[in-house]
Amino acid sequence: MKILSLNCGSSSVKYSLFDWEKKAPLASGVVERVGVGGSFVSHEVPGREKLELKHDCPTHKEAIKLVIDTLTNKTHGVIEDLKVIAAVGHRVVHGGEKFVKSVVIDSKTLEAFNELAGLAPLHNPPNILGIEAAQDLMPKIPHMAIMDTAWHQTMPASSYLYALPYKWYRDYAIRRYGFHGTSFLYVAKRTSVILGKDPFKTNVIVCHIGNGASVNAVKDGVSYDTSMGFTPLEGLVMGTRAGDHDPAIGLYVMEKEGLKAKEMDSILNKKSGILGITEKFTDRRDVEMAAEDGDERARLTIEIESYRLKKYIGAYAAAVGGVDAVVFTAGVGEKGSITRARALDGLEFLGIKYDAAKNELSRTRNAETEISAKDSKVRIFVVPTDEERVFVEDVAGLLNGNYDVHTKFTYAFQKSDYRNTLRDRAFEKECVKKPGLADIAAHPAHRVKVK
């Protein structure tokens, strides 16, 4: 059984093809610059050289057709034709309050997604375009939706309601929704495995830090609170998003500069955050290099971002009544040792104490590592996320008829002997170059013996 996963953004289509029987990825890639000219596909197959092909894709339909053609190509493809694909899983950013788990897509589901488009105008419309295009190209294959917001539907009203006129919630569904749900689900459940605890007796704080970033307070194995809100704008300092700020600032500047709502929305989402402070960077690596070279604005950006993250860790530790672990994931979370260190500095009074050497060593996306100090009461992990694995298992569960909400469904990656063979092989190569890396592998079953 082969499962295709699609993640359609405004100008890109990410994809992966997974062999369920062999429990192995067959191929993955991304079509870039959809609808903007100069589009191309970057295609990767385990054991082969990365392939890049240029092809004009004015719409998502051409982009998905390019994905299909690439996967079935006689030279660089991995399947003969579409008949071997059992189902397609689609990422849908916003499921509102209507969806608490992944679902099979039908006309009513699409209608609901369109109704919710106003809650995520930057994300849901391209998600829907991708679904419709894929259905046109693969009409005989079942399509499923995996919602980013579903994981957070366990939050209590005290966490998700704002102190705004209740009428707004009743009439317009204005509330905290949270995002990065598939990432948080994977990381929270993997952390329970590492800890050797029942997932529903585990409290963790997960920090998903990439260009978009959010923190999740997980209490007794379910989402209790999260930093992103009604939209992905709230919370941490991000690449181009402002995160937490006084909403009156936007109103003040709009009046001063005669800006319209859409213009301010663009500024807060696309011209703020790290880019707003530095006025030239969005990538943390560039910020760190500039700070080392004496750029004061870059140094200040690191301090602001880390301080915001530290505040959330402290607040969420109080919210859940103490934590078993603090976990970092996503691009910066997995490789950004400076951001992790600055965020954790000074949290010893909460029993959170990291080992500087382990933290510096842990810059890998191929293994779960532990960076706690020996005397830390709270364990600290770096767990590479695997959202595609959640996609695949949800789709397989829906196909097999045994899928349910995550509190009633057990994922394969919740088993203590679960392995990702591709990551294992890559980690073994890393360990040869970085002596000591194998020693900080978080779970004994995943440690690599370096020859």
Active site residues: 148
- Asked if 359 and 338 touch (Cβ cutoff 8 Å), the reply is no
What is the full DSSP assignment across 9-54? -SSEEEEEEEETTTTEEEEEEEEESTTTSS-EEEEE-TTS--EEEE
Q: Is 142 left (phi over 0), alpha (psi -120 to 50) or beta?
A: beta
Q: How far apart are CA 323 and CA 332, in angstroms?
A: 22
Q: How far apart are CA 448 and CA 430, in angstroms?
A: 10
Rg of the chain over Cα atoms, rounded to whole angstroms, equals: 22
User: For 448, which DSSP code?
Assistant: -
Q: Which residues are paired to 145 by β-bridges?
A: 90, 103
What are the φ and ψ backbone dihedral angles of 263, each rounded to 5 degrees?
A: -70, -40
In this structure, what token pair is assigned to residue 423? 């990551």
Amino acid present at 263: E
Tell whether the torsion through CA atoms of 427, 438, 207 and 288 is positive or negative: negative
Q: How far apart are CA 239 and CA 209, in angstroms?
A: 10
Amino acid present at 256: K
